[in-house]
Structure 1
Amino acid sequence: MLILLYLCIVLLAGLATGFKTGLEEGLICNVCVGTHPGCGLYDFDQRWYWGKMCSRYNDKCVKLIERKGSEVMVTRDCLSNLENFRVDIPADKYEGCRPASNDVKLGQYVFEAIDEIDVRRNYYDNTTYCFCDFDHWCNSAPSLSPAFILATLALVALVL
């Protein structure tokens, strides 16, 4: 009996540290890459990605959409994390979507024989940054899935 009580406490403590309510100080953003399951452009699954607190005070959530033909790569993260390694972030970071900036000096004196390294960042035809900072988890998919809504309604019905 004591072991069962201990396991319940450990399980609840683990859920409490990972679960975000939206009442925390700072902005909570979805963090995932399009190669992960449930992190596509229109099929974002909130059950897999609970969100992450952004490290900076006045941070923004970013959804980075890169397209080449029919291939789409989506990256969701905080702006402070993307600024460390992306040089094509647009200067206008207000709410909304904007095309990436063009850096003409990027990879100017690099003569790389391996195309997959992509030093000049010209693999994708279209790169778009979508910024938001007015609400938690604002860099998710456009709408909730019907399965998530039905599961929430069933849970509410069970509680009542």
Structure 2
Amino acid sequence: MQFPMIFITLFSFAALHTASAIWCYRCTSATPGCGLYDFNWRGIGYLGEACPEDDDICMKVIERKGASETVIRDCYSSLRAIRTDIPADKYEGCRTAAQDVRLGHYVNNSIRELDVHRTHFDSTTFCYCFLDHRCNSSPAMSMSIFAIAGSTIMCLWHLLSFI
């Protein structure tokens, strides 16, 4: 009676392959080694960090004001709550920011430093990646061919031992 329980346990561990999240670099250009041209993974970690959601996308936001550039590397689910200028097209590649006409619509603010209309930067570019290294997507649950073949052989061996 011990054999079926051991068989079920081994089969469940060997047959299912899951990945819980995509891994992305999460840093800003204020972090050493996270600039646009001087990116160095040693300063922020080789593997990056796991994104909060299963169907996430890695993003890089490049904001330019004159000669200065600000770079933000993060997951899509972390940025979509605070950014209203994310483009609707989220396929692999880079796109310019979308215009939000309702941003700061009912605000009458004379303090320029608050930037309620998000007009401080001259250009904002969003880059998406989910196919490259450290931009890997989460695979769906799948059965291993070796686990299926092994369990079939074990069942046949167990059934033939009674004959």
Which residue of 2 is the match for residue 79 of structure 1? 76
Q: Pick from 121, 126, 129 the counterpart of residue 123 of structure 2.
A: 126
Which residue of 1 is the match for residue 93 of structure 2? 96
Q: Pick from 58, 61, 64 the counterpart of residue 61 of structure 1.
A: 58
Which residue identity lines up with residue 84 of structure 2 in the other structure?
V
In the TM superposition, 1:35-46 aligns within 5 A as: 35-46=30-41
Following superposition, the deviation at residue 108 of structure 1 comes to 1.3
CA distance in 1, matches of 2:55, 2:130: 9
Q: Pick from 28, 32, 53 the counterpart of residue 33 of structure 1.
A: 28
Indicate the RMSD between aligned Cα atoms, in angstroms. Answer: 1.8
- Percent identity over the alignment? 51
Following superposition, the deviation at residue 24 of structure 1 comes to 5.7
**1:35-93 CA distances to partner (integer Å, 9 max, x unpaired)?**
22211101011011121101111110000000011010000000000011000000000
Which residue identity lines up with residue 22 of structure 2 in the other structure?
L
Gaps of 5+ in 2: 1-17, 136-163
Larger relative contact order, structure 1 or 2 (CA cutoff 8 Å, min sep 6): 2
CA distance in 2, matches of 1:115, 1:43: 32
Which residue of 1 is the match for residue 110 of structure 2? 113
- Contact 2:20–2:54, Cα closer than 8 Å, also in 1: no
Which residue of 1 is the match for residue 149 of structure 2? none
The worse-fitting range, judged by mean Cα deviation, of 34-43 and 129-138 is: 129-138
CA distance in 1, matches of 2:59, 2:71: 10
**Aligned pair count?**
117
| Structure 2 length-normalised TM | 0.67
Runs of 4+ in 1 over 3 A off after TM superposition: none
Which residue identity lines up with residue 59 of structure 1 in the other structure?
D
CA distance in 2, matches of 1:113, 1:36: 32
Which protein has the larger Cα radius of gyration, Structure 1 or Structure 2? Answer: 2
